[in-house]
Amino acid sequence: MSARIIDGKAFAAGLRQRIAAEVTRLKQAAGFTPGLAVVLVGEDPASQVYVRSKGKATLEVGMASFEHKLDVGTTQEALLALVDKLNRDPAVHGILVQLPLPKHIDEARVLATIVPEKDVDGFHVVNAGKLATGAKDAIVPCTPLGSLMLLKDTLGDLAGKSAVVVGRSNIVGKPMAQLLLKESCTVTVAHSRTRDLPAVVRQADIVVAAVGRAEMVKGDWIKPGATVIDVGINRVTGPDGKARLVGDVDYESALPVAGAITPVPGGVGPMTIACLLANTLIAACRAKGLAEPTL
């Protein structure tokens, strides 16, 4: 037996098409264009790649893209002033400040300055709190949201299933656990200090790996038939000396055991940007008092 491979790239392409159709409809019916502002401080190569892809994807669905590239030496005051300006700009419906920020800038302070209604990353404590308490208007972080979409598409109803999230970051692990709990899963959050991690993972119907450690979750940790969502994106050098991307799951050993699995690349990765566009569209509709589309 070999696992069904969950095609995140195809799912994300479909989602982006539905978003594009909705943007076209909004332009015609309501006469406005949703807009996303992305702020990058410094020249981290990975962040530059992410910001470029976000800008391109935004334009491709017909939204307005506002890119702000700031020098690595930008002061915290200057960055906060820019966020404040974007908060007040009616053409901007979503704001994303690319992380990590340079060391001299207080990340929490910057994230707290974005108005929650425009926080399309879902990192503001108000949005984290809304997600935890089940408020309908929470903006949900993009990677966990995309992971949940793939899970529901693969499994249908998740109620009663046992889910293990490996990783407890604010960006993925914690919101993922909240989303699974909302779907009535029995949720365990495991992490680097968890005792006998393989045994904990082995009892899960759903495994979400988000630890940032290349190929850590092995095939013999996985319950036969389980659904595996691999959030990791790790650059490693293969035996041939060439760089390649791998997830947090050892794909080769997991493939014969799992019921379904996301590949890296082409699994969760493409969902993150598609969900960012979905969050921006929803934020724009709310700002205009329009009904939220079902995507």
Residues that bind ligand GUN (CB under 6 A): 96-99, 121, 142, 171
Check 119, 121, 205, 250 and give the catalytic one.
Answer: 121
Q: Which is nearer to ligand GUN, 110 or 166 (CB)?
A: 110
Q: Which is nearer to ligand GUN, 144 or 255 (CB)?
A: 144
> In this chain, which residue has its C-beta nearest to ligand GUN?
99
Based on the residue annotation, tell me whether 152 is a catalytic residue of this protein. Answer: no
Q: Are strands 64-70 and 35-41 parallel, antiparallel or unpaired?
A: parallel
Q: Which is nearer to ligand GUN, 96 or 210 (CB)?
A: 96
Based on the residue annotation, tell me whether 98 is a catalytic residue of this protein. Answer: yes
Amino acid at the residue 284 = A
CB of 121 to ligand GUN, least distance (A): 5
Task: Strands of 29-148 (E only): list them.
Answer: 35-41, 64-70, 94-97
Based on the residue annotation, tell me whether 248 is a catalytic residue of this protein. Answer: no
Sheet containing strand 94-97, strands side by side: 64-70, 35-41, 94-97
d(CA 131, CA 141): 10
CA 79 to chain centre: 23
What is the token pair recorded at 113? 């300055």
Q: Which is nearer to ligand GUN, 121 or 215 (CB)?
A: 121
CB of 53 to ligand GUN, least distance (A): 12
Terminal-residue alpha carbon distance, the chain:
33
CB of 279 to ligand GUN, least distance (A): 11
So which residues are the catalytic ones? Answer: 54, 98, 121
